[in-house]
Chain A
Amino acid sequence: MNGFADPRLVRTLARAIAAEAEKLPRPVTFMEVCGTHTNAIAAAGLRRLLPSHVRLISGPGCPVCVTPVGYVDQAMALAEDPRNLVATFGDLLRVPASSGSLEQARATGCDVRVVYSPRDAVDLAAANPDRRVVFLGVGFETTVPTVAAAVLEAEKRGLANFFVLSGHKVMPPALEALLADPALRLEGLILPGHVSVIIGARAYRPVLARYPIPAVISGFTPVDVLRTVLELTKQVVEGRAELVNLYGRVVREEGNLTAWGMVEKVFAPCDARWRGLGDIAGSGLALRRPFASRDAGQFAVTLPTPREPAGCRCGDVLRGRIDPPECPLFATACTPDTAAGACMVSAEGACAAWYRHERFAGVA
């Protein structure tokens, strides 16, 4: 399937987009809401292949970036308790808390382990029966089923010392919050491919019925993304607003029912706070009652008043209000090595992707 990166097909698509964009009545902005798209678009330099009046921006699609500082503070406090072993995906390690980061906590002796899979955290619980293993559950619908499966596996193995601090979020309510914002000027949505693998195309239909806009479920190769941009451009030119699935090789209308069924068994919807978007009803996931004993939120910890880094405009970046270079800290006080905000820490953050790949491309 290497054809999806074939440079000849990429050129053909870029030419087709340029031809279609000639017919646009006005400049257009399309937003992706997936950190993996953010990174893929920047790394492949796709913005440079598009006409200047077709603009791509990032939305709240990087799970680490939308996780509020209060969650990281809670994770830090849990890590500081020697009874706890904190297991996390690597992305969270360097995200700034109100003071310090998990990486700094680890350097001062806290037991923070990076895992590739939630299953590894379950194995840590088996190997450390005298410790409480707290898995930091951060991620969207793609990741949540893997955590639900890990919880069920811990149940099956009788591991009472496996806990989850759930900061999980779901995408449709966040899309609704974005689309309801009258300040947002957007002509199309690039929908997250791997979230869609789990929830299916059907999950977007209610929101898109209330807020009609061209919307395309997209894969991640250069060919996938450019096909998506071409389809969105055509829809604008023809005055259509439809949901189209261009990632049919893995995304089905109904999604992965086994995976989502497991999520519904373990988690229930709850309200959640997003960096940049604020509180969104029904956009989070909390452990259901039979699994409430595994909720690490039950451990009393002393928390500081959450403090976002001074001058950081991650919130505006996540809402698509500014491009990263418009933040006064970008590439000065805030770089991947000295990140002030979460969007510069995660490789999938818009600021990090922009810093690494587009800083000198003259696109701003």
Chain B
Amino acid sequence: MIRKPPASGKRARRGVAPPETPKTPEAPRYLLRLYVAGLTAHSTMALANLKAVCESHLKGRYDLEVCDIYQQPELARREQVVAVPTLIRRLPPPVRRVIGDMSREDRVLIGLDILPEM
């Protein structure tokens, strides 16, 4: 399940790396943080869409944190979260930002710099 990032800063993990992954040995792990605003339509939509994208393209090699801007306002302030939902790719570098409800899969892939499988 997706968990809120603990206050200690330890990252929540999504899934356990299955034995058949990673597909290529050098494939980087993705550390993603999604900012949502409670349970608004955009927020729930973004979470569902993002999970689908990650499962089909980054299966087993991503960590996803979900932050509620109302629960963790200071974090949202530090990361200049203006638009909601905002997805921040914290790893691999460089940092990248995707906003919106993640309904456009092609845009999410471009934003996260993931090459879709042929």
Does chain A bind chain B? Answer: no
> Which residues of A are in contact with B by a Cβ distance under 8 Å?
none
> Which residues of B are in contact with A by a Cβ distance under 8 Å?
none
